[in-house]
Amino acid sequence: MMVKIMYDAYSMNTLQYDQTLCNGCGMCVNVCPHAVFEMHARKAMMVNPLACMECGACQLNCVTAAIKVDSGVGCAAGMIRAALQGKPEAECS
Amino acid sequence: MIDLNSISTKPLITPTTHQMTLSDHWDHFLARVGYKRSQHRIKPGLYSIGDPQSDSPVFVTANYTLSFDALRSNLEGIDCYILVLDTFGVNVWCAAGKKTFGTDELVMKINATQLKKVIDRHILILPQLGAPGISAHEVKKRTGFKVQYGPVRASDLPEYLRTNRATPEMRKVIFGLSDRMVLISVDFKHNFLPTILLSIAAWLLLDGLLPASSVLAILFSASILFPILLPWLPSKNFSTKGFFLGFLTAIPFILVTLFGNTDTSLIHQISRALAYLLVIPPPVAYIGLNFTGATTFTSKSGVRREMLRYIPVMAWTFGTGILVMIASIFI
């Protein structure tokens, strides 16, 4: 695992999906900018989880709270600034 | 308590057009080069294009001129309303990330503009990239308005309105060469002055042209070559991509030091070459890592993993290189 991070820190992420909670509304398919979800038999399926950029759109628009993701802005400059100023992350300019 | 519904002011609607004027284009240019970056704003509120009726579509956007203009320039011949949220001059996607393009602001603007008095069809078309800030079911619950997410790009809106659906292609963000190229100017401007100052310092403290030009080479590689070459640089991590590009940048300086001018002692040449090898790659890697914020696909947890692993490496390599460079002055 550590070796993999050395050249690909994006080989994992915080996206979690509980299909048993899905009501089939398809909102996650609509909002995802990287086609992580697809509809199959009236349920959303996670077809490409590693493409997730953790923007949080699916979680926020999932009415049954079936999707969880630690969302935020994937921006090093923002995180460095937040760390230096002791502020919470997810700020960018 | 003031009952807001009892105030019978007429909803304020500002007419606009799909046409871009010369001053719009000038404003876009200034925004692209980063001149007064946060001041490319339009007034939040309700706008109209053409002659919209009570059943016309309502589009929602940010009060950044590039966002507003991208939207309206694609609405030729479409009678509609545009609801502009106050995102403090930030584009839709970034504003959604910090929730200024958010549920609360949308609800507030729906009420403040008295949108319910203007249209019967309580449907709003939002840009898909506004979704990280908006909870559609929450908006429905609080205002009765149904949020529909349109395509990512405003240029797909005419087709979206015709077919009433966005294809999978319209839903995907693309980050091509031209998208990366327009980002160069802001990054370049951001790093330009420090680079010039450092370059002059290198000129004065070391022995002239070569060290000074190595500083300029770092800026050129990191701010211009890195965004262009991004998909082709090896590995997924931005820092390792940057280290690789920085190493390539260092090669000519190492070669010129070793084989160019042979007036100085061998030990001086080797130490100076070693210094270039250690000093040049880390800043390229660091600026490269910062480019994550400009891309459309890096995740927060991934960027954090990269930072924890590679920022110490950058600091140690660079620090060692500076010490070797200082030592080379005395040998």
- CB contact at 8 A, B81 and B105: no
Q: Which CA distances in Å does A86 have to A82, B67, B72, B160, B289?
A: 6, 31, 40, 44, 21
Q: Which CA distances in Å does B315 have to A40, B196, B206, B231, B236?
A: 48, 21, 21, 25, 21
Select the residue of B172, B294, B302 nearest A33 (Cβ to Cβ).
Answer: B172
* B99 and B245 assigned to the same domain: no
Mean pLDDT per 10-residue section of chain B, whose length is 331 residues:
60 94 94 88 96 96 97 96 97 94 97 95 96 97 97 96 94 93 83 89 84 93 95 94 97 92 82 95 95 90 92 96 90 80
Which residue is associated with the tokens 């086609």? Answer: A35
Contact A13 B302 (CB under 8 A): yes
Size of interface A-B (CB pairs under 8 A): 138
pLDDT at A92: 52
* B288 and B275 assigned to the same domain: yes
Residue that finishes a domain, picked among B145, B173, B201 = B173
pLDDT band at A5; cut points 50, 70, 90: low
Contact B236 A9 (CB under 8 A): yes
Q: What angle do CA B204, B208, B213 make, to 5 degrees?
A: 105
Structure tokens at A80: 């460095």
* B40 and B94 assigned to the same domain: yes
Domain around B231: 178-328
Alpha-carbon span B100 to B27, nearest angstrom: 23
Contact A75 B304 (CB under 8 A): no
With contacts defined as CB-CB under 8 Å, which chain A residues touch B38?
Answer: 93
CATH classification of the domain holding B129 = 3.40.50.11600
Residue that finishes a domain, picked among B173, B189, B209 = B173
Q: What is the domain count for chain B? A: 2
* B9 and B150 assigned to the same domain: yes
With contacts defined as CB-CB under 8 Å, which chain A residues touch B96?
Answer: 55, 57
Alpha-carbon span B133 to B94, nearest angstrom: 9
Instruction: List the single best residue of B135, B173, B299, B304 to mutate versus A (max A Cβ within 10 A).
Output: B299
* B103 and B166 assigned to the same domain: yes
* B241 and B323 assigned to the same domain: yes
- CB contact at 8 A, B316 and B282: no
pLDDT at B4: 56
pLDDT at B185: 80
* B47 and B119 assigned to the same domain: yes
Residue that finishes a domain, picked among B125, B148, B173 = B173
Alpha-carbon span A93 to B225, nearest angstrom: 23
